[in-house]
């Protein structure tokens, strides 16, 4: 009981410190469904809706709970693992989102180089963008090919560019599209130089980020293993029914609950400390 009181007191002091030191930030609240749709699009999972993702979470939680009850005969342990199963699809989406952004970060300099060569060859902006659908990076050809098809059908550059931004779902893609929109509306002769500078900047940024990720990857993987270790031990204890029965008592349930909360808090803290600055889609 004293340990629980100490944990609650420490958590209260943490909340007080956070309230006194944190600066108020005004940020527009994004509806849950829209935010989930954006995350799925940025992960490349455009064929999955937020409702389908929630359905997968619920189904996986039920499957894990059923399997845990059959295997462990412990309700408390089954509930904890069911929560982990429900969170797993969100973790997968987040990993796919980060991987897609990292892959696109390596491809954008090539896209900008293709745009630069097309503009310098005398192509118009719609023609230069459409050409990427046939000679650009393979992973990005489909969105640019759809842009070319939309522009040939409608002849509306802004609407086709908005559709391209939505299909790309990437912060760098947003900046490139908006730069091209401004260049088309304002005009000028510096577009080629602007694209060359942007290509060099993107290459430097990708190289620096890759070096930082390589240096911190071992520490992040070690932290993940440390977080998973207690729950792997709990799975091994599932072979001993008399040991698991202790977790169905109020004290055992409290221990599991506190352990799950501390695991989640430690994982989020680890991600926050080791997180590199991420580009946000502010030009949607």
CA angle at 144 for the pair 143 and 150, rounded to the nearest 5° = 90
> Would the pLDDT of 152 be above 50?
yes
Percentages of the chain per state (helix, strand, coil), in multiples of 5? 85, 0, 15
Q: What's the mean per-residue pLDDT of the chain?
A: 81
Domain assignment present for residue 143? The answer is: yes
Domain assignment present for residue 166? The answer is: yes
What's the domain range around 166? Answer: 105-204
- Give the residue with greater pLDDT, 271 vs 87: 87
DSSP state of 241: H
Query: What global pTM score does this model have?
Result: 0.71
pLDDT at 53: 92
Q: Which tens digits make up the pLDDT trace of 172-221?
A: 888 888 888 888 887 666 777 888 888 888 888 888 888 887 777 777 78
Residues sharing a CB contact under 8 Å with residue 42, sequence separation 6 or more, in sequence order:
97, 100, 101, 169, 170, 281
Give the integer Cα–Cα distance in Å for 101 and 107: 10
Among 37-41, 44-48, 108-112, 235-239, name the one with the lowest average pLDDT: 235-239
Domain assignment present for residue 66? The answer is: no
pLDDT at 196: 85
For the segment 16-29, the average pLDDT, to the nearest whole number, is 54
Q: In total, how many domains does the chain have?
A: 1
Closest CA to 11 of 83, 228, 3: 3
> Would the pLDDT of 237 be above 70?
yes
pLDDT-derived band of residue 28, with 50, 70 and 90 as boundaries?
Answer: very low
pLDDT at 23: 52
Domain assignment present for residue 67? The answer is: no
Domain assignment present for residue 49? The answer is: no
> Would the pLDDT of 60 be above 90?
yes
Domain assignment present for residue 223? The answer is: no
pLDDT-derived band of residue 24, with 50, 70 and 90 as boundaries?
Answer: very low
- Give the residue with greater pLDDT, 273 vs 159: 159
> Would the pLDDT of 27 be above 50?
no
Domain assignment present for residue 230? The answer is: no
Domain assignment present for residue 17? The answer is: no
149 and 133 in contact (C-beta within 8 Å)? no
């Amino acid at each position: 009981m004293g340990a629980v009181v100490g944990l609650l007191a420490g958590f209260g002091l943490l909340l007080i410190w956070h309230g006194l030191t944190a600066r108020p930030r005004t940020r527009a609240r994004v509806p849950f469904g829209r935010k989930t749709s954006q995350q799925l699009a940025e992960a490349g999972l455009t064929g999955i809706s937020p409702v389908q993702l929630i359905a997968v979470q619920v189904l996986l939680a039920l499957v894990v709970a059923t399997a845990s009850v059959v295997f462990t005969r412990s309700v408390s342990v089954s509930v904890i693992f069911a929560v982990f199963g429900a969170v797993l699809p969100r973790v997968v989406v987040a990993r796919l989102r980060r991987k897609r952004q990292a892959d696109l970060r390596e491809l954008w300099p090539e896209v900008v180089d293709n745009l630069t060569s097309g503009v310098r060859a005398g192509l118009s902006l719609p023609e230069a963008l459409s050409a990427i659908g046939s000679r650009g990076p393979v992973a990005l050809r489909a969105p640019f090919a759809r842009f070319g098809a939309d522009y040939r059908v409608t002849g509306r550059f802004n609407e086709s560019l908005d559709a391209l931004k939505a299909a790309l779902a990437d912060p760098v893609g947003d900046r490139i599209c908006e730069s091209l929109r401004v260049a088309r509306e304002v005009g000028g002769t510096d577009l080629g130089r602007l694209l060359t500078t942007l290509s060099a900047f993107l290459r430097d940024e990708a190289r620096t980020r890759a070096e930082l990720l390589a240096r911190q990857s071992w520490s992040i993987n070690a932290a993940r293993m440390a977080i998973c270790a207690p729950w792997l031990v709990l799975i091994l204890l599932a072979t001993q029914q008399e040991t698991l029965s202790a977790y169905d008592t109020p004290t055992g349930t409290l221990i599991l609950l506190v352990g799950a909360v501390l695991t989640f808090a430690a994982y989020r803290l680890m991600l926050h400390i080791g997180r590199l600055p991420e580009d946000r889609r502010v030009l949607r």
